[in-house]
Structure 1
Amino acid sequence: MKSFILGSLLAVAVSAIPMPAPTPPGIPSASTAKSQLASLTVKAAVDDGSYSRDLFPTWETKEGTCNTREYVLKRDGTNVQVNDACTATSGSWFSPYDGATWTAASDVDIDHMVPLKNAWISGANAWTTARRQQFANDIDHPQLWAVTDNVNQAKSDKSPDQWKPPLASFYCTYARAWVSVKSTYDLTITSAEKSALSSMLNTC
């Protein structure tokens, strides 16, 4: 009986241990992110009214039969099993934005760290379609994250001065990733956005 109780307590303790947050490639150190932030062009966002998600083609085939969404689900999930079409049939996903864990892929969205419309109003409106497709499917930089679907929907196309992750402990990583993507793609930031990012980086 004692061994059963101890085993049960151990199982509870293990299940209570938070899963590590996924780490898409290319997240810079805080010091590098601060340097990148200082180098970004500060400029008012320009919404010309012509943004459409269709201008950023998603999702493209990445690996075998896996498209970008399916690739990120496999990359950021735990014990993910997929069928021949690369659709996730089982696994678990930890959402670093809010700390929730999901066991159904349908509860998980793939978030663009810098939202597509935010990119549009900060320089991507001048890009070619090929460049926008690269941005929308970028798995080489910290642009794509597997997160809770309704948290992603709450974020929508908002910048860090308008929306922050529910978990304040993730502010540091969020800001580092956001700045890195904006720097990689030479996108502009607003003064309010820069102030919010600076404050978030100060939590690192």
Structure 2
Amino acid sequence: MLAQLKVARPLSMRGYSHRRFQPRWAHHRGKCDAREVVLARSGRGVRRNAACQPVRGVWYSPYDGRVLKSVKQIDVDHVVPLAYAWRSGASRWSQARRRAFANDLNRPELVAVSHSANIAKGGQGPQSWRPSRRSHWCRYATSWITVKHHYRLFVTRGEKVALGNMLRTCRRQ
């Protein structure tokens, strides 16, 4: 699937704002928003309050291998960051498509990770950031490629090389 992605130069950040993807956490199931759904399905023994917010559980952060026992330690990461998607073609989308992207529960775009791993990643792509756990590189790269392919977002030359390098770890697992 990597070979099918169009290679292009990144677009301008002009006009970018998180608000262009709002609401960032849209409601999916009754009172539950996308973030709450991801936290519930990613953890073990997750208990939620009446407002659907997880209040107890145990989560595993695949980026850094940390086991987290407090929801305050968890972030929901956009595998392809919103700003990165903007530069890769999302700037040309409708508001509805950007919202769908930011709240996609069907593709591997949303993942529960430690707050520290999410901060370290920020808005970076695979050519400048990789999960600290090498054993997660295959899953990370295939998730990135799946999302980019589904949404017809392009990749940069450096991004494609980095993804190819990470995919080489798939055969060794």
Q: TM-score, normalised by structure 2?
A: 0.96
CA distance in 2, matches of 1:44, 1:159: 14
Post-superposition offset of 1:198: 0.3
Q: Deviations over 1:57-78 (max 9, x none)?
A: 1111111211111110001010
Instruction: Tell me the residue number matched to 2:18.
Output: 53
Instruction: Tell me the residue number matched to 1:162.
Output: 128
State whether residues 13 and 86 of structure 2, in contact with CA within 8 Å, keep that contact through their aligned partners in structure 1.
no
Q: How many residues align?
A: 169
Instruction: Tell me the residue number matched to 2:160.
Output: 194
Instruction: Tell me the residue number matched to 2:90.
Output: 124
Instruction: Tell me the residue number matched to 1:107.
Output: 73
Q: Deviations over 1:99-155 (max 9, x none)?
A: 001111111000001000000001000000000000000000000000001110111
What secondary structure sits across from 2:169 in the alignment? coil
Unaligned runs of 5+ in 2: none
CA distance in 2, matches of 1:49, 1:104: 37
Unaligned runs of 5+ in 1: 1-35
CA distance in 2, matches of 1:49, 1:157: 15
Post-superposition offset of 1:48: 3.7
CA distance in 1, matches of 2:19, 2:58: 30
State how 1:10-159 maps to structure 2 within 5 Å: 36-57=1-22, 58-159=24-125
Q: Once superposed, what is the RMSD of the aligned Cα atoms?
A: 0.7
Q: What letter is aligned with 1:68?
A: A
Q: Which runs of 4+ in 1 moved over 4 A?
A: none
Q: Bigger radius of gyration, 1 or 2? A: 1
Does the C-alpha gap of structure 1 residues 148 and 63 become closer, same or farther in structure 2, counting only changes over 3 Å? same
CA distance in 1, matches of 2:13, 2:32: 34
Report % sequence identity.
44
CA distance in 2, matches of 1:104, 1:66: 19
